[in-house]
């Protein structure tokens, strides 16, 4: 992708190529190409045109037929395109064939998404995950960088020319990097497990916000918690998971985590590489599935997100549906249709605040353990009780006097009888 970003004088001009496969509708192909245009814009290139090609069976050389390949080449030249972006996966050999045939940079949807992720990853874990995904993607494509060096049989027992020798060197470098990324990711994941274990000792429930990219997940996190999180009206505006605390009714706390947005044709490498990030959805007590109620493809977005959740083993998690952007024009029957999937379905607007109170109440009623704040005075010698309060509740203040330990803590109501003898109305 460096060739796309190297020209600082102007944005690179991209020609998009979609495919209308047999058995699929033209409208579906157009919708996929429109999404690719949004991805291309997020990547930083200008879309100068798009072409949808109808095919019956993919060909091994170009994926498309030779006649269509000629048409695409001519269109790219007439539009002065710098790069061709295909809305389907190209094999390494097909990618090389297109670059040689058009003498232009050629990438596919996977590489666009990888480039966006690489430019937007902020934390060490996200950078490692993206780095691993890019290395695994590039390994079978190394030959693209050495097409200028002809492979040839050498003399004196040598079986390859300079291109082949350099290719082997590069292959070893990439494989070493893959091994290093995996080692470092393993360490990061172990650290995350320790953090999660520490967090799991508290009775505070957790929820993972999931959904199709640009549905408004980060906006929901900000609206519910007041957190200062990054929000941008672009695909994959945020990649790193962000966890914030929200107070529900009766001071009941909840930990909310914003996760990376899902998308159609998410590269397999990213599903694997981002498992540590997406694991927030698997360990959460419940899932908040956010959908853009104004989007015409809301049903497909719902299906894509559920498919990724199934890949993560989180398909059977308790879920609440949140239909965001209700202040925008949308089909009034959408909510009723989505409620057939899940009766816990709420229309909201993070922009106007509509429906947020009902959503908080639903979270507290259906998913969060009832909590209450208590002031406790526990005598010396009953540190088993002090330990239990720390383990099962959230201690806000703690101080000692000559008679014992004063604690102010949020505790599940089910422990009220157990701590009754230590509860005081006010500090004496």
Which range among 111-115, 276-280, 320-324 has the greatest average pLDDT?
320-324
409 has pLDDT over 70 = yes
Number of domains in the chain: 4
Whether 301 and 328 have beta carbons less than 8 Å apart is answered as no
> If pLDDT is split at 50, 70 and 90, which confidence band does 162 have?
very low
Dist. CA 74–CA 81, nearest whole Å: 10
Domain boundary pick from 171, 196, 221: 196
180 has pLDDT over 60 = yes
280 has pLDDT over 80 = no
Q: Are residues 75 and 146 in the same domain?
A: no
Q: Are residues 230 and 140 in the same domain?
A: no
Q: Are residues 46 and 191 in the same domain?
A: no
Q: Are residues 213 and 326 in the same domain?
A: yes
For 328-383, the pLDDT digits (tens) are 999 989 999 999 999 899 999 999 999 999 999 888 888 776 677 889 999 988 88
Whether 316 and 217 have beta carbons less than 8 Å apart is answered as no
Q: What is the CATH number of the domain that holds 391?
A: 3.30.70
Domain boundary pick from 61, 85, 118: 118
Q: Are residues 164 and 256 in the same domain?
A: no
Q: Are residues 234 and 326 in the same domain?
A: yes
Q: Are residues 414 and 267 in the same domain?
A: no
> If pLDDT is split at 50, 70 and 90, which confidence band does 269 have?
low
Higher-confidence residue: 96 or 145?
96
Q: Are residues 341 and 251 in the same domain?
A: yes
Rounded mean pLDDT, 78-100: 92
Domain residues for 183?
A: 121-196
Whether 373 and 211 have beta carbons less than 8 Å apart is answered as no
> If pLDDT is split at 50, 70 and 90, which confidence band does 427 have?
very low
- Number of other residues whose CB lies within 10 A of the CB of residue 364: 18
For 41-80, the pLDDT digits (tens) are 988 899 999 999 998 888 999 999 999 999 999 999 999 9
Q: Are residues 112 and 131 in the same domain?
A: no
pLDDT of residue 6: 46
Task: Please indicate, yes or no, if residue 400 is contained in any of the structural domains.
Answer: yes
Q: Are residues 54 and 134 in the same domain?
A: no
Q: Are residues 125 and 110 in the same domain?
A: no
Q: Are residues 274 and 309 in the same domain?
A: yes
pLDDT of residue 117: 81
């Amino acid at each position: 992708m460096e060739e796309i970003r190297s020209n600082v004088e102007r944005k690179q001009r991209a020609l998009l190529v979609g495919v209308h496969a047999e058995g699929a509708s033209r409208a579906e192909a157009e919708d996929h190409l429109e999404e690719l245009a949004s991805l291309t814009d997020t990547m930083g290139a200008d879309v100068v045109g798009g072409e949808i090609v109808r095919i019956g069976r993919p060909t091994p050389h170009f994926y498309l037929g030779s006649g269509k390949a000629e048409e695409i080449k001519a269109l790219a030249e007439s539009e002065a395109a710098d790069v061709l972006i295909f809305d389907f996966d190209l094999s390494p050999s097909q990618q090389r064939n297109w670059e040689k045939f058009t003498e232009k940079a050629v990438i596919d949807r996977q590489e666009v998404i990888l480039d966006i992720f690489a430019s937007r990853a902020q934390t060490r874990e996200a950078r490692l995950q993206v780095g691993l995904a890019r290395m695994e993607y590039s390994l079978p494509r190394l030959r693209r960088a050495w097409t200028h060096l002809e492979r040839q049989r050498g003399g004196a027992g040598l079986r390859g020319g300079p291109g082949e020798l350099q290719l082997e060197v590069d292959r070893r470098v990439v494989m070493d990097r893959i091994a290093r990324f995996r080692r470092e990711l393993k360490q990061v994941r172990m650290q995350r497990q320790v953090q999660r274990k520490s967090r799991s000792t508290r009775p505070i429930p957790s929820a993972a916000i999931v959904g199709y990219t640009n549905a408004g997940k980060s906006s929901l996190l900000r609206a519910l918690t007041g957190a200062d999180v990054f929000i941008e009206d672009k695909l994959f505006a945020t990649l790193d998971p962000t966890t914030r605390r929200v107070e529900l009714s009766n001071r009941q706390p909840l930990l909310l985590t914003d996760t990376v947005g899902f998308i159609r044709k998410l590269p397999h490498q990213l599903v694997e590489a981002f498992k540590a990030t997406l694991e927030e959805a698997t360990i959460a007590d419940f899932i908040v599935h956010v959908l853009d109620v104004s989007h015409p493809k809301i049903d497909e977005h719902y299906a894509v997100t559920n498919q990724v959740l199934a890949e993560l083993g989180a398909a059977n998690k308790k879920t609440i549906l949140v239909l965001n952007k209700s202040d925008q024009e949308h089909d009034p029957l959408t909510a009723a249709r989505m409620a057939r999937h899940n009766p816990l379905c709420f229309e909201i607007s993070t922009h106007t605040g509509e429906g947020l109170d009902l959503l908080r109440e639903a979270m507290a009623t259906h998913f969060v353990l009832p909590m209450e704040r208590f002031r406790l005075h526990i005598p010396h010698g009953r540190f088993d009780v002090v330990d239990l309060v720390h383990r099962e509740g959230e201690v806000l203040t703690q101080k000692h006097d000559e008679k014992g330990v004063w604690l102010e803590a949020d505790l599940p109501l089910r422990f009220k009888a157990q701590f009754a003898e230590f509860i005081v109305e006010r500090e004496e």
